C-alpha cells in the first residue's frame, strides 16, 4: 500500500499548490471584476468560467497542445527556460488549478459584489488608501464567501482526473494522484488497492468538509450579509 | 468675500423608466448649512459628489478656495484627498471592528487594522467627549441608534476634517433623542468651528440647527 | 384493394429484419483502424445488425467484462488476457481463435535526431522519456517488459518510463514529441507515418498473437459467431493485412 500513501501525498501537494494559486489569482481578478468597469467584462467572465464547464478531457487536450513541445507556450518555455511541463507535477498543478479556478473566482466575485458599498465608501472618506481598504475592510467582510469557494476549489483539485491524466500522465510519485491511482487499480483488477485508495480519498473529502464547518460557523455581526 | 462652498454641478442618472437630472448651484459661507428636501430629491447624491464618492458629469466644486473637482480642467480629488468627514445615513460602522477600532480607523493608514490593545490620545479624547468609553470594546451590532450615531461622528472627526458632511444623521432616532443629539451637534460645531453640511427632511432640524437652508427639489436648487 | 393496403400497412409496421441485433465488440486499442473498417462491411452483409466497437487496452476491457458489461465479442492483443477471461469463466477454451499477429517496434519522433538501432541504445542520455504501456493492463507493455528483462534492461530504463493507458497513447506521445521513444506495434507505427518513424524491431519471447472469442452468455451468440467468422475470413484477413497485421 506504499503507492497509496505516495499518491495521497502527491494529491495533497498538487491540490494545495493549485488552491493557493487560485486563491491569489481568483481573489485578485474577482475584485477587479467586482469593482471596476471595463469593456468586455461579460466575455471575460465567460472565458474565466469556461474551464469549469469544459469537459476535463477537452481542457486536458488544450493544455497538452499549448504546453507540449511544439505548442506555443511549451516551445517558449523549453527554449528560454528549459522547462517542460508535460509529465511533471507542475503540469498536474496547472491542470488542477485551471479546472477549479472558476470556483474561487465566482465565489469571490459574488462575495465582493454582495458587500454593501457603504463600508468601503466610509473607509475612503476616512482617508485610507484603496489598497489598504481591500485588506482592512473588503477582505474581512467577504472572507466567508471566498473561503467557501477556496474549499470547493481544493476538493475539485484533489479529485481532478481527466485533464491531469492528459497533461501529466500517470507516473507514480510524480503525477499519479489518488484519482488516477484508483482508475488504474480498477483497470488492472486490483480491488484491494482500489478499495484502500477510495477510502483515503473519502477521508480527505470528509476532512475538508469538517474543517470548512469549523472555519465558517454560523452567524456574523448583523449588518453584514452572510456569504457562506 | 470668498465663499466657503462654491458648487455648480450636474449629473444625469438614467433609470429604468425615467432619467433623473441633478443640477445644483450653491454658493454659501454658512457654518451650518442644511440641504432640505423630500427623499429622492437628490440631496444624498449631492453630498456624495462633494465627498468625491460620485463624479459629476459637469461642473466644479470648490471648498475654502481649493478646487476639489473641475470637469474642464480635469481635476477630481479622490475622497481620501479631500479631508471632508462624512457621516452616513446608516452610519456604516465597520461591523467586524469594535467601537474603538472604528473610531481609530483613520489614525492608521497601513494595511492592517490596529489590534484591540493600542492607545491613541486623540481617540481617547473623542471616546470621552462622546461618553463612549464603556462601549469601547462593543461591536456595532450591540449598539443603540444614538450610540451608533455618536461613534460615526467620532470616527469622522478623529482625522480632523476641514468640514463635515452629514446625511440625515437623526433620521433613525426618536424625537427626544433627535432633539438632544441635534443640540449636541450644534454645540460641537460651535466648539470646533468646523463647517457642516447636513441633509434633512425635517423642519425642526432646519429651524434649530441651520444658519442657512438650501432647498432641493427634483434635483434642482430652489 | 382493402386487403392489399392492410397487408402493406402490416408490412410497414412489423420489423422486417429477422436478425436485427446490436453487437458489442470490445477490441484491443491496436485493432482500432482495422476493426473500424470491418464493421460497416459486416453490417452491410448482415442487414439489421449494428456493430458497436469499444476500444481500450485489453486489461481494462477484461475488467469491464468481469464487472458485467454486456459485451458479445472480445478481441485481445495477447493470449494472457484471453486466458484470464477464460479463467474468470467468460470465455470457453474451444471458442477462442487466433486471427492475427503483430511485431513489437521502437518508434521515435519523425523529426527527432535520434536513431537507436538496439534496445541498449535507449540507456543513452538523449533518451530521457520512453513511453511504455503499463504492463499491468496493456499487453504491449508486457511484451516490452519481457523483451527488456531478457536483456537486463528493464530496471535500468524504469526511471525513464512514462506509463501509458494503452498502446495508442504511447503512439500519441511519440507523435507529439513529448517522449523521446516509445514501444508500440508495427501496425500502430504505420498509422501516423508523418509523425513517427520506426527505429527497429524488438524480438519478443512469445509471438504477438491476437485471440478473439465470443463472451459466454451473451444475447447475440449467433451474430457474434458470424462476426468472428468474418474477421477470420479472407475478406477480414485482407483488411488486417492492409494495416500491417501478420498471419495468425
- Which residues of chain A neighbour C68 with C-beta distances below 8 Å? none
pLDDT of residue C103: 95
Q: CB-CB: which of B80, B83, B141 is closest to A128? A: B80
Residue C114 pLDDT level (bands cut at 50, 70, 90): confident
- Which residues of chain C neighbour A73 with C-beta distances below 8 Å? none
Residue C9 pLDDT level (bands cut at 50, 70, 90): low
* Cell (9 digits) for C212: 478473439
* Cell (9 digits) for B23: 443640477
- Which residues of chain A neighbour C165 with C-beta distances below 8 Å? 165, 170, 184, 187
Using CB atoms, which chains have 3+ pairs under 8 A with B? A
How far apart CA B12 and CA B85 sit, in angstroms, is 26
How far apart CA C12 and CA B179 sit, in angstroms, is 93
Mutation test of the interface with chain B: which of A35, A121, A124, A127, choosing the one with the most B Cβ atoms within 10 A? A127
Query: Could you give the 3-state DSSP secondary structure of residue B216?
Result: strand
| pLDDT tens string B119-177 | 788 888 888 888 898 998 999 999 998 899 999 999 999 989 999 999 998 887 888 88
The pLDDT of A4-17, averaged and rounded, is 93
Contacts of C26 (CB under 8 A, 6+ apart): C54, C55, C56, C61, C64, C65, C69, C71, C73, C74, C75
| pLDDT tens string A14-37 | 999 999 999 999 999 999 999 888
- Which residues of chain A neighbour B110 with C-beta distances below 8 Å? 132
Cβ separation A129–B92 shorter than 8 A:
no
Chain A nearest CA to B137, separation (Å):
14
Residue A223 pLDDT level (bands cut at 50, 70, 90): very low
pLDDT above 60 for A139: yes
pLDDT above 70 for C34: yes
What domains appear along chain A, each with residue ranges and CATH number? 2-215 (1.10.3720.10)
How far apart CA C94 and CA C86 sit, in angstroms, is 10
Residue A221 pLDDT level (bands cut at 50, 70, 90): very low
Chain A nearest CA to C61, separation (Å):
8
Q: CB-CB: which of B96, B112, B139 is closest to A141? A: B96
pLDDT above 80 for B196: yes
ipTM at complex level = 0.91
| pLDDT tens string C186-203 | 999 999 999 999 999 999
- Which residues of chain C neighbour A188 with C-beta distances below 8 Å? 59, 63, 134, 136-137
Q: Are B155 and B106 in contact (CB under 8 A)?
A: yes
Contacts of A132 (CB under 8 A, 6+ apart): B109, B110, B111
pLDDT above 80 for C14: no
pLDDT of residue B41: 83
pLDDT of residue B1: 52
Residue A222 pLDDT level (bands cut at 50, 70, 90): very low
Mutation test of the interface with chain C: which of A169, A170, A171, choosing the one with the most C Cβ atoms within 10 A? A169
- Short-list C194, C200, C207, C215, CA closest to C245: C207
- Short-list A116, A127, A141, A105, CA closest to A221: A141
DSSP 8-class letter at C215: P
Residue C149 pLDDT level (bands cut at 50, 70, 90): very high
Note which residues in 138-197 of chain A have CB less than 8 A from chain B. 140-141
Half-sphere exposure of C15 (CA within 13 A, CB side): 8
The shares of helix, strand and coil residues in chain C, as percent rounded to the nearest 5, are 45, 25, 30
The answer to whether A43 faces chain B, any CB pair under 8 Å, is no
How far apart CA C107 and CA C176 sit, in angstroms, is 12
pLDDT above 50 for A226: no
Phi–psi pair at B153, nearest 5 degrees: -65, -50
Alpha-carbon dihedral angle through residues A99, A101, A105, A111, given to the nearest 10 degrees: 90
pLDDT above 50 for B8: yes
Cβ separation A126–B159 shorter than 8 A:
yes
- Which residues of chain A neighbour B83 with C-beta distances below 8 Å? 127
pTM: predicted TM-score of the whole model, two decimal places: 0.80
pLDDT above 50 for B24: yes
| pLDDT tens string A103-130 | 999 999 999 999 999 999 999 999 999 9
> Could you tell me what percent of chain B has a pLDDT over 70?
97
Cβ separation C177–A187 shorter than 8 A:
no
Q: Are A84 and A78 in contact (CB under 8 A)?
A: yes
- Short-list B213, B207, B208, CA closest to B33: B213
Query: Could you give the 3-state DSSP secondary structure of residue B68?
Result: strand
- Length of chain A equals 228
pLDDT above 90 for B17: no
The answer to whether B137 faces chain A, any CB pair under 8 Å, is no
Q: Are C23 and C224 in contact (CB under 8 A)?
A: yes
Distance of CA A142 to the CA centre of its chain: 18
How far apart CA A121 and CA A114 sit, in angstroms, is 14
The pLDDT of A136-163, averaged and rounded, is 91
Burial class (CB in 10 A: 0-12, 13-18, 19+), C206: exposed
The answer to whether A170 faces chain C, any CB pair under 8 Å, is yes
Count residue pairs from A and C with Cβ separation < 8 A: 44
The pLDDT of C224-236, averaged and rounded, is 94
Search chain C and give the residue with CA nearest A180. Answer: C165
Residue C8 pLDDT level (bands cut at 50, 70, 90): low
Q: Are C178 and C129 in contact (CB under 8 A)?
A: yes
Amino acid at each position: 500500500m506504499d503507492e497509496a500513501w505516495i499518491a495521497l501525498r502527491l494529491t495533497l501537494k498538487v491540490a494545495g499548490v493549485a488552491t493557493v494559486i487560485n486563491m491569489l489569482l481568483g481573489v485578485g481578478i474577482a475584485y477587479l471584476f467586482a469593482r471596476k468597469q471595463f469593456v468586455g467584462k461579460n466575455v471575460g467572465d465567460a472565458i474565466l468560467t469556461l474551464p469549469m464547464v469544459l469537459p476535463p478531457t477537452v481542457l486536458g487536450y488544450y493544455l497538452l497542445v499549448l504546453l507540449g513541445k511544439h505548442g506555443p507556450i511549451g516551445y517558449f518555455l523549453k527554449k528560454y527556460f528549459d522547462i517542460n511541463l508535460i509529465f511533471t507535477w507542475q503540469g498536474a498543478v496547472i491542470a488542477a488549478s485551471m479546472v477549479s479556478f472558476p470556483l474561487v473566482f465566482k465565489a469571490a466575485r459574488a462575495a465582493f459584489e454582495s458587500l454593501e458599498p457603504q463600508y468601503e465608501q466610509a473607509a475612503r472618506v476616512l482617508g485610507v488608501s484603496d489598497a489598504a481598504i481591500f485588506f482592512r475592510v473588503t477582505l474581512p467582510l467577504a472572507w466567508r464567501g471566498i473561503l467557501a469557494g477556496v474549499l470547493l476549489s481544493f476538493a475539485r483539485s484533489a479529485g481532478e482526473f481527466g485533464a491531469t491524466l492528459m497533461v501529466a500522465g500517470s507516473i507514480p510519485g510524480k503525477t499519479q494522484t489518488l484519482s488516477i491511482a484508483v482508475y488504474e487499480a480498477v483497470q488492472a483488477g486490483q480491488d484491494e488497492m482500489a478499495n484502500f485508495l477510495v477510502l483515503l480519498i473519502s477521508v480527505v473529502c470528509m476532512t475538508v468538509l469538517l474543517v470548512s464547518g469549523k472555519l465558517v460557523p454560523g452567524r456574523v455581526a448583523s449588518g453584514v450579509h452572510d456569504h457562506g | 468675500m470668498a465663499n466657503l462652498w462654491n458648487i455648480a454641478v450636474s449629473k444625469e442618472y438614467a433609470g429604468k423608466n425615467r432619467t433623473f437630472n441633478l443640477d445644483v448651484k450653491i454658493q454659501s459661507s454658512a457654518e451650518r448649512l442644511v440641504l432640505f428636501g423630500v427623499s429622492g430629491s437628490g440631496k444624498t447624491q449631492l453630498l456624495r459628489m462633494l465627498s468625491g464618492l460620485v463624479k459629476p458629469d459637469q461642473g466644479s466644486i470648490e471648498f475654502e478656495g481649493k478646487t476639489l473637482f473641475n470637469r474642464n480642467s480635469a481635476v477630481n480629488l479622490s475622497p481620501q484627498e479631500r479631508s471632508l468627514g462624512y457621516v452616513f445615513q446608516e452610519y456604516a460602522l465597520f461591523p467586524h471592528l469594535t467601537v474603538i477600532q472604528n473610531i481609530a480607523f483613520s489614525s492608521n493608514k497601513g494595511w492592517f487594522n490596529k489590534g484591540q490593545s493600542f492607545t491613541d490620545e486623540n481617540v481617547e479624547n473623542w471616546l470621552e467627549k462622546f461618553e463612549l468609553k464603556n462601549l469601547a470594546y462593543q461591536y456595532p451590532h450591540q449598539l443603540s441608534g444614538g450610540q451608533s450615531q455618536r461613534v460615526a461622528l467620532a470616527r469622522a472627526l478623529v482625522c480632523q476634517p476641514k468640514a463635515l458632511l452629514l446625511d440625515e444623521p437623526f433620521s433613525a432616532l426618536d424625537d427626544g433623542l433627535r432633539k438632544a443629539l441635534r443640540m449636541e451637534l450644534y454645540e460641537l460645531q460651535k466648539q470646533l468651528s468646523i463647517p457642516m453640511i447636513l441633509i434633512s427632511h425635517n423642519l425642526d432640524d432646519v429651524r434649530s440647527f441651520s444658519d442657512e437652508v438650501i432647498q432641493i427639489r427634483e434635483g434642482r436648487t430652489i | 384493394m382493402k386487403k392489399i393496403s392492410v397487408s402493406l400497412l402490416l408490412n410497414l409496421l412489423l420489423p422486417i429484419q429477422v436478425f436485427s441485433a446490436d453487437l458489442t465488440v470490445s477490441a484491443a486499442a491496436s485493432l482500432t483502424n482495422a476493426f473500424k473498417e470491418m464493421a460497416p462491411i459486416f453490417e452491410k452483409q448482415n442487414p439489421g445488425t449494428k456493430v458497436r466497437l469499444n476500444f481500450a487496452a485489453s486489461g481494462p476491457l477484461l475488467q469491464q467484462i468481469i464487472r458485467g458489461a454486456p459485451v458479445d465479442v472480445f478481441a485481445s492483443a495477447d493470449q494472457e488476457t484471453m486466458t484470464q477471461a477464460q479463467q474468470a469463466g467468460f470465455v470457453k477454451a474451444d471458442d477462442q481463435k487466433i486471427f492475427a499477429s503483430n511485431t513489437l517496434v521502437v518508434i521515435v519522433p519523425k523529426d527527432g535526431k535520434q536513431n537507436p538501432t538496439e534496445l541498449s541504445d535507449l540507456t543513452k542520455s538523449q533518451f530521457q522519456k520512453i513511453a511504455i504501456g503499463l504492463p499491468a493492463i496493456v499487453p504491449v507493455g508486457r511484451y516490452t517488459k519481457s523483451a527488456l528483462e531478457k536483456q537486463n534492461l528493464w530496471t535500468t530504463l524504469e526511471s525513464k518510463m512514462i506509463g501509458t493507458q494503452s498502446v495508442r497513447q504511447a503512439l500519441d506521445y511519440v507523435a507529439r514529441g513529448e517522449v523521446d521513444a516509445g514501444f508500440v506495434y508495427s501496425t500502430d507505427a504505420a498509422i501516423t507515418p508523418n509523425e513517427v518513424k520506426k527505429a527497429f524491431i524488438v524480438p519478443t519471447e512469445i509471438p504477438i498473437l491476437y485471440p478473439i472469442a465470443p463472451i459466454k452468455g451473451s444475447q447475440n451468440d449467433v451474430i457474434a459467431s458470424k462476426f468472428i467468422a468474418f474477421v477470420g475470413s479472407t475478406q477480414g484477413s485482407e483488411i488486417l493485412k492492409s494495416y500491417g497485421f501478420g498471419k495468425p
